[in-house]
A and B are shown apart, each in its own frame.
Chain A
Amino acid sequence: MASKTNVATILSDEQFKMLAGSATISVANFYADWAEQCKDMNEVFDELSNKFPKLQFLKVEAEEYPDTSEDMEIAAVPTFLVIKQAEAYKPADVAAPAANFSEMTPEQLQARLKALINSNKVMVFLKGTPQEPRCGFSRQVVDLLTEQRTTYGSFNILADETVRAALKEYSNWPTYPQRNDCIGDFQKLAPPEDDINTRLKELINQSPVMLFMKGNPDGPRCGFSRQIVQLLRDQNVKFGYFDILEDDEVRQTLKEFSNWPTYPQLYANGELLGGLDIVKEMIASGDFASCLPPQ
């Protein structure tokens, strides 16, 4: 297979500095051969390099180049970093919204990725989101960046069907589809100044069916939340979720927003359906399915 002109395998720290410094935008994949989880990300990386021939892609075997890895604050593998040629640091206004890549033309895709990248000096591709990392290594990266008080944007590669379609393994990923019904949550990394009502509106519309619960579906932290998850699963409903125990601001303000003082709260198509009692009643009366978006 001919090597691609936009992909470089890094062979020295100097080469990394030179290449990252010379391209407007580089996407770097810090990986290790011994790390099982890197296999999937390597495929994602390849797929992305096909899609964006104008961007420079750098493959760095993290442990071989410890100075570079340290400079880039790599805590664990795999890590993708998007490096924009250094200019005056601008704090992120709002992290880029979730993109629907599958519907775009190549030009739109490129523009979209560029916009994503340009929204933040540092952009991290994670399994999951900063709020809900879906693997231990992603969680560590998030913790490190937070500790460093680095403002960053994030992209949940598990939420992008086009990218994920390239990986057969991900069709068996427990969050899609099988009996597993959770659509991973796109958590925007909004800075504190962001209007909470805007944030709530976005959260509510994150998924066609959106559950605000205590804990998460595989580890609910209250009996009512556990029951409602069970009901949704029994009914084969695909839903996104938000753990209100993780975010006190959302926990308190959503109560006012919804005019609903308790959790769990189930939203469908951006409208409040209610709590556990209502879901139970609607299932019993046969009205539940008609309140949901087509599954």
Chain B
Amino acid sequence: MSSPARPVFEAIRDKLTSALSPSTLEIIDNSHLHASHAAMRGSTDKETHFEVKIVSNAFQGKPLVQRHQMIYKLLDVELKEKGLHALQIQAKTDAEANKS
């Protein structure tokens, strides 16, 4: 089996899906927007900045900070070892998503 061309993207998709059973999950790769920034200088990582929009009832009853912490925890390896540098997160429950 060949290794994925977008390992971080796939890890985000796979880990969040299996842990949170989301109704919707949108992952946007914004790495190219930050490639020239100071923090990225000297880095050869291709997948560094992502936006994640996720709707799941696993977030029911949890304050925003905890929802984000859950997601960060699931992607701990990617953040520490795989070059993932920043995540923009929007985490809603079904009810909240339907309201807007």
Q: Which A residues contact B (CB, under 8 angstroms)? A: 214, 221-224, 259-262, 272-278, 281-282
B1 within 8 A of A: no
Tell whether, in the assembled complex, residue B90 and residue A260 are in contact, meaning their CB atoms are under 8 Å apart.
Answer: no
Chain A contacts for B6, CB-based, 8 A: none
B23 within 8 A of A: no
Chain B contacts for A277, CB-based, 8 A: 68, 88-90
Q: A-facing mask of B27-59, CB < 8 A → 1, else 0?
A: 000000010011100000000000000000000
Chain A contacts for B25, CB-based, 8 A: none
Instruction: Report B28 CB to chain A, min CB distance, Å.
Output: 13
CA–CA, A247 to B37, complex, Å? 20
CA–CA, A222 to B33, complex, Å? 13
Tell whether, in the assembled complex, residue A221 and residue B38 are in contact, meaning their CB atoms are under 8 Å apart.
Answer: yes
CB<8 Å pairs between A and B, sample of 26: A214-B39, A221-B38, A222-B38, A224-B86, A259-B69, A259-B73, A260-B72, A261-B72, A261-B76, A261-B80, A262-B72, A262-B79, A262-B85, A262-B87, A272-B65, A273-B65, A274-B68, A275-B68, A276-B88, A277-B68, A277-B88, A277-B89, A277-B90, A278-B64, A278-B65, A282-B64
Supply 16 further A-B pairs (C-beta < 8 A) apart from A259-B73, A281-B64: A214-B39, A221-B38, A222-B37, A223-B34, A259-B69, A260-B69, A261-B72, A261-B79, A261-B80, A262-B79, A273-B65, A274-B65, A275-B68, A277-B88, A277-B90, A278-B64
